[in-house]
Amino acid sequence: MPIALPDELHSAVSLGILLLASLAGGIFADFLRIPKVTAYLVAGALVGPSLFNLIRVEHMHHLEPLTMLAMSLVLLELGSCFPLAHLRPVLRHAIWLSLGELVLTFSLVACAVFLQSYHLPMALILGALALATAPATTVLVLKESNSEGPVTEFASVLVALNNIAAIIVFELIFLLAQVLSSSADVTALQSVMRLAADLGGALTLGSFSGLLISYGCGLLSQRRWLVMVLAVATLQLGLCESLHLPYMLSFLMAGVVVVNTSDQSSDLFREMEKLSGLLVVVFFAVHGAELDLQAFLQAGVIGLVYIVARAAGKIIGIRWAARLRGEAATVRRYLGSSLLAQAGAAIALANLAAQRWPEVGQQVESIILGTVVVFEIVGPILTRWSVLNAGEVPLAQAISHRSESVFGQFGKMWARGREALGILPQVHVDLENLKVEHLLRRSVQGLPQTTEFDDVIAYIRRSHDNTYFVVNDEYRMVGVIRYAWLSDIFFDATIDTLVRAEDLAGPVKDSLSVDEPLSRAVELFRSSTDDAIPVVKDLESEKFLGVVRRDDLTDLIMRQHK
């Protein structure tokens, strides 16, 4: 039952309620082991006008600049996933995967909606909107999961490609739909010119902003970076809104420019996390409060058709394209389900359709607002499920190690007080009950021994490790290559194509089996300087399964100390 609130409440009260609800949602997310993004959305929906009505609609409008800035920073970071020197091999595959998914998703949604409604313009517009994937939701779930592997890599790239395609296809389909309905107020040439001007303006503004950020990083001290980025991003967002340019495309372009023109981009985005973390919580809480459950019911059968057709298009389209391209089985099975989240881009385009063509656009907007309720709650869960089942997240990373309770927190406070008085407790981290398989990164694949030198270098550029394990045709380990060994070879002009991975490899000193306790990994890391230890099915077969990383083990121990 909605709660009646006094009229004189300040908008800061609504913001406080949203943050408290998000905090509670985050705690429940840890307990239930669901993505925090989903928890923030549900928490916002609970206190929003659709349910308990603890915050006012007009107050959410006051927070809109913050939510748009949060989305902008996420898109800026998403654009940084496109270092062209490293992504050229991935892009060749990703473009074909994206094309297969986009074609099938658009076709299924447009056909299904038309067969249900017999309204061709609405079917075409919904087909275009179905292409968009929520960038903030997807990227933050992947970051929270600490996932790594082909599904994660392709998902990050496809999110950007999908939203670029959605913006362009929407404009083209909207023009076509108006022509077919013979109710267009502008000519086709005027619409094409407007589209070109909008896209060109967004790309130009994004490029200039990216160059300005890169220049500022090199000129200013690191403690001034955050103010500089906020100033540029806020100005860029304001210009996009004033000039009616697609700001999502503009910030994606800015991120691409930054990562390809600045050698300090990694430090920059780590600095941005100090603010973007809070803004993202506000973004999802407000977004959850804006979810209109009544719109979900009003979407009716067409909404249900849209949900099923879009999900089928994403999943089947990826499987079809991945099979044709010979991609790994994990990509075929799990990439499509990681791309189902939908929110900001689709809502913004639906709102634009309602403004341009009210008699069709308002119905489209109602359907999108209704179906977003499903995609924003289920989508993050499926994204996390996808990377977990693809083996791109160590099981120990997916397990919550937080054990706080009412009395447990008193115990921690007592222990901290004893520590302050110099009575130091003896800390013991029990790793005997956790096996190597719980921290195994299966997404790290071995380097075939016949790999030529140029391909070895390409593999190393894309790797997150400094230790690379070489395997034979049966995936048994035959040696290890360490980055330090190659530092001189990189600049040796005498190296030719006859050199293969096995020629560069040395013997493997230590390895782990999946059934050994993690305490064994601690012992091996103490006696080694390697950043990763190979994991085999058993010590006799030496069949390579993946690696245990020093960073992952350190992070696990630190979390158990908390």
- The answer to whether the beta carbons of residues 51 and 290 sit under 8 Å apart is no
Mean of pLDDT values over 353-372 = 80
532-536/544-549 β-pairing: antiparallel
Question: Helix, strand, or coil here: 10?
Answer: coil
Using the 8-state DSSP alphabet, how is residue 452 labeled? B
pLDDT category, 249, cuts 50, 70, 90? confident
Helix (H) or strand (E) holding 122: helix 120-129
Residue 495 has pLDDT above 60, yes or no: no
Taking the domain 66-278+295-392, which CATH number applies? Answer: 1.20.1530.20
pLDDT category, 404, cuts 50, 70, 90? very low
Q: Which two tokens stand for residue 152?
A: 């994660």
Question: Helix, strand, or coil here: 148?
Answer: coil
In angstroms, the CA 415 to CA 432 distance is 24
Which pLDDT does position 239 carry in this prediction? Answer: 94
In angstroms, the CA 478 to CA 218 distance is 44
pLDDT category, 34, cuts 50, 70, 90? confident
Question: Helix, strand, or coil here: 543?
Answer: strand
At a CB cut-off of 8 Å and minimum separation 6, what does 117 contact?
A: 123, 302
| DSSP states of 354-394 | HHH-HHHHHHHHHHHHHHHHHHHHHHHHHHHHHHHHTT-S-
Q: Rounded to whole angstroms, what are the CA distances from 288 to 4, 131, 282, 304, 337?
A: 20, 22, 10, 20, 21
Residue 268, CB half-sphere, CA atoms under 13 Å: how many?
26
Residue with tokens 């589209």: 195
pTM of the prediction? 0.71
Q: Where are the domains of the chain?
A: 66-278+295-392, 436-561
What percentage of the chain reaches a pLDDT higher than 70?
83
Please identify, in words, the CATH class of the domain defined by 436-561: alpha beta
Q: Which two tokens stand for residue 332?
A: 């075929």
467-471/447-448 β-pairing: parallel
Please count the other Cβ atoms lying within 10 Å of the Cβ belonging to residue 404.
13
Residue with tokens 């949602």: 25
